[in-house]
Amino acid sequence: MNNEKINRRDFLKELGFTAGATALFASFPWISGFAEDNQKAIAKEKLRIGVIGTGDRGRFLLNFLVRNPKADVVWLCDNYQPWLELGQQIAPNAKTCADYRQVIDDPTVEAIVIATPLYTHHEIAIAAMEAGKHLFCEKSMAKTLDDTLDMYQTHKRTNHVFFVDQQRLYDPVYLKAIEMIRSGMFGEIQGINTFWNRNGDWRRPVPSPELERKINWRLYKEYSCGLMTELACHQIQVGTWIWRELPERIYGQGGITFWKDGREVEDNVGVMYTYKDGKRLTFSSIISNAFYGLEEQIMGNLGTIEPEVGKYYFEKTPPMPGLLQMINNIEKEIYSTVSFAGPSWDPEIAKQNHGEYIIGKKRDFLDGTGFTVDAFVDAAIAGKQPPMIAEESYYATVLSLLGQQSIEEKREIFFPEEYRIDYL
């Protein structure tokens, strides 16, 4: 199964709930649009959508939109013709243009999807919100703290539906994980260790040299904040979601340590977010070694949960009966002969604890993006902003930008009060 096939009912089933699951909706009010009653209320309408940006992500989103019977993609906009044409292959009936104003000025368009590079989000988003459109914007929200706050405040004032694609908020594995954490299964969460490692230069082929900055915008500081806004924002959001508070202090470091190819953004970063009693969320990313990949290791005094692997582990597993343990040790060739005295110390490395699956099996769908897109369509048709979506996304961006600021200014940053909103 994958996102293309999984539907809302499966979504609830993945979580072990039925469609009327009131407890689930109480814990995660932003997903209550998936409740059966809410679905009936919006079943007959279609939302007229303009998609701005048909690059990699825009086309990924388009694939979900065209299979949603309540979505009608009426415009595609991109100022790079070859990628606009690729978008057309997915939504051939949509009109096309290169200037986003044409889409926003169309009074029949009800909702806008923005999947352009980070530095363009603010301008297009403000134009869309001021024109009274519902808005789905790719993460991160904006490239500066002021623009991010401006987007949030404009959303509050214009009062239309505003989603940012922080897809973990709609990922069944994450929802289940958060529920387990809140039940106290893992004790008090003491630390969250997050990392996103890859082995690749993050470059895309450029057909001619003058297109370098257009195609590889991620690598240049005029357009991008690099690993922090491209990757970290997803993982930092998990910290806010779990702890329901903001860090007091942020300290980051980074540099270009491997891909010295003319890029401007760091290829190696580490940021520590410290909360009021000293607990920490750390984010680190290296893009020249993929061995440890991607994970959020959420660590409580009773256990650990790793949503990307989709597993959880208790600190104390029941001891194996003595004989079994002895056989096990021989099989693993820990001892060539059976010793009578055990080792006098226990190495402090990860224990051979294989854990349990969070949703009862290995994750077999990509992530929460499809559900986020569907939830946006539902919310826009209903004209109702789900709680917490905009706020979680706002802080995810703010914390990513503060991490980047700390890296660039080589100093610790205290959370600036002027960017606090009425949430948490």
Query: Which of 235, 236, 200, 240 has the alpha carbon at shortest distance from 218?
Result: 200
Q: What's the CA gap between 416 and 172, in Å, rounded?
A: 33
Strands 413-414 and 249-255: antiparallel
Instruction: Indicate whether 147 belongs to the interface with ligand NAD (CB under 6 A).
Output: no
Nearest distance from residue 403's CB to ligand NAD, in Å?
15
User: Which member of 72, 147, 179, 230 binds ligand NAD (CB under 6 A)?
Assistant: 230
Nearest distance from residue 396's CB to ligand NAD, in Å?
11
Instruction: Indicate whether 80 belongs to the interface with ligand NAD (CB under 6 A).
Output: yes
- Cα 88–chain centre separation: 27
CA contacts within 13 A on the Cβ side of 202 = 31
In single-letter form, the type of residue at position 327 comes to I
Q: What's the CA gap between 58 and 297, in Å, rounded?
A: 30
Nearest residue (CB) to ligand NAD, 77 versus 109: 77
User: Which member of 33, 50, 53, 252 binds ligand NAD (CB under 6 A)?
Assistant: 53
User: Which member of 32, 68, 120, 148 binds ligand NAD (CB under 6 A)?
Assistant: 120
User: Which member of 3, 54, 148, 397 binds ligand NAD (CB under 6 A)?
Assistant: 54
User: Which member of 7, 38, 63, 79 binds ligand NAD (CB under 6 A)?
Assistant: 79
Nearest distance from residue 88's CB to ligand NAD, in Å?
12
Q: What's the CA gap between 116 and 211, in Å, rounded?
A: 16
User: Which member of 63, 66, 117, 256 binds ligand NAD (CB under 6 A)?
Assistant: 117
Nearest distance from residue 6's CB to ligand NAD, in Å?
17
Q: What's the CA gap between 12 and 269, in Å, rounded?
A: 37
Classify residue 359 by burial, with Cβ atoms within 10 Å: 0-12, 13-18, 19+.
Answer: middle
- Cα 96–chain centre separation: 29
Instruction: Indicate whether 167 belongs to the interface with ligand NAD (CB under 6 A).
Output: yes
DSSP 8-state code for residue 356: E
Coil/strand/helix, residue 13 = helix
Instruction: Indicate whether 355 belongs to the interface with ligand NAD (CB under 6 A).
Output: no
Tokens (6 digits) for 285 = 């990313």
Nearest residue (CB) to ligand NAD, 77 versus 286: 77
Nearest residue (CB) to ligand NAD, 81 versus 301: 81
User: Which member of 3, 32, 68, 116 binds ligand NAD (CB under 6 A)?
Assistant: 116
Helix (H) or strand (E) holding 299: strand 294-300
Strands 249-255 and 111-114: unpaired
Strands 47-52 and 111-114: parallel
Instruction: Indicate whether 55 belongs to the interface with ligand NAD (CB under 6 A).
Output: yes
Instruction: Indicate whether 374 belongs to the interface with ligand NAD (CB under 6 A).
Output: no
User: Which member of 4, 56, 264, 364 binds ligand NAD (CB under 6 A)?
Assistant: 56
Beta pairing partners, 378: none
Strands 111-114 and 95-97: unpaired
Query: Among the candidate windows 56-64, 174-182, 262-270, 357-365, which touches ligand NAD by CB under 6 A?
Result: 56-64
Nearest residue (CB) to ligand NAD, 54 versus 285: 54
Beta pairing partners, 191: 280, 299
Q: What's the CA gap between 95 and 81, in Å, rounded?
A: 13
Nearest residue relative to ligand NAD (C-beta): 55
User: How many chain residues are in contact with ligand NAD, going by CB under 6 A?
Assistant: 24
Nearest residue (CB) to ligand NAD, 217 versus 376: 217
Nearest residue (CB) to ligand NAD, 78 versus 147: 78
Instruction: Indicate whether 115 belongs to the interface with ligand NAD (CB under 6 A).
Output: yes
User: Which member of 83, 162, 196, 395 binds ligand NAD (CB under 6 A)?
Assistant: 83
Tokens (6 digits) for 102 = 């044409």
Strands 111-114 and 189-196: unpaired
User: Which member of 28, 75, 100, 170 binds ligand NAD (CB under 6 A)?
Assistant: 100
Query: Among the candidate windows 49-57, 174-182, 187-195, 391-399, which touches ligand NAD by CB under 6 A?
Result: 49-57
C-alpha separations of 158 from 18, 117, 131, 135 in Å = 35, 24, 9, 11
The site for ligand NAD (CB under 6 A) is made up of 52-58, 77-80, 83, 100, 115-118, 120, 138-139, 165, 167, 217, 230
